[in-house]
Structure 1
Amino acid sequence: MAAIKNIEGLSTDDINRELSRGAKFVVFQYCFSILIMTFKRGSDVYFIKADESTVKHSIGYTLLTLFFGWWGIPWGPIYSIGSLYTNLSGGKDITQEVLNSINAQNS
């Protein structure tokens, strides 16, 4: 599994405590188009604390999509709208997948 961002300085107990308060692991989406080709990708995994906004983590991916995602026809606009919706909704919650992966590594 790739490194998880935004967990620097947190112990396993700190992470578990945050998860019980509503924290989550999320990825953000972005897309960019080059002429007729459009690429849709996901960001690294981010740990978002219960009282933390996702905006500071998603803004770069959102701006990348706004400026460079639309230009490929037909998928550019379609992927851009989907990526923007995901990012503006707080990202794609993958908490369960991350926990399953951690548990599988520990067993």
Structure 2
Amino acid sequence: MKIEGVEGMTVEQVQEEIQQGGRFVLYQYCISVLVLTFRRSSSIHFVKYGESAVGKGMKYTAVSVLLGWWGIPWGPIYTIGSLVRNLGGGKDVTQEVMSSICGEQQGAA
């Protein structure tokens, strides 16, 4: 899976950012078409220490606000859930990503 925000960084640099407070997050968005509602997760985003996780997720929040409400009955339900998750900074998946990265690094050695 693609990780946005780590381009050009080494594993050591990522680990250092994590120790300072950086994290990997997933955002959620919702799109509705009449009676069909789709709830999806974004690609993984790396939020460095000092960056706003809420700000990085605003495009997914905007998609949900504009396109999520229209499906009955799940549109409003999924849209509200997406807004709560994104405005809370997204879903933290740092442990899972770091386990995967460190496991790949050890396997390559």
TM-score (norm. length: structure 1)? 0.92
Q: Which amino acid aligns with 2:98?
A: L
The correspondence of residues 73-84 of structure 1 with structure 2, limited to 5 A, is: 73-84=72-83
1:47-89 CA distance string (max 9 Å, x none): 1011111244211111100011011111101100000011101
Alpha-carbon deviation of 1:40?
0.2
Aligned length: 106
Structure 1 unaligned blocks of 5 or more: none
TM-score (norm. length: structure 2)? 0.90
1:23-62 CA distance string (max 9 Å, x none): 1000100001011000000000001011111244211111
Q: Percent identity?
A: 47
- CA-based RMSD of the aligned residues comes to 1.2
Alpha-carbon deviation of 1:5?
0.4
User: Partner residue of 1:23?
Assistant: 22
Structure 2 unaligned blocks of 5 or more: none
Distance in 2 between residues matched to 1:39 and 1:80, nearest whole Å: 10
Structure 1 residues 16 and 6: alpha-carbon distance in aligned structure 2, compared to 1, 3 A threshold: same
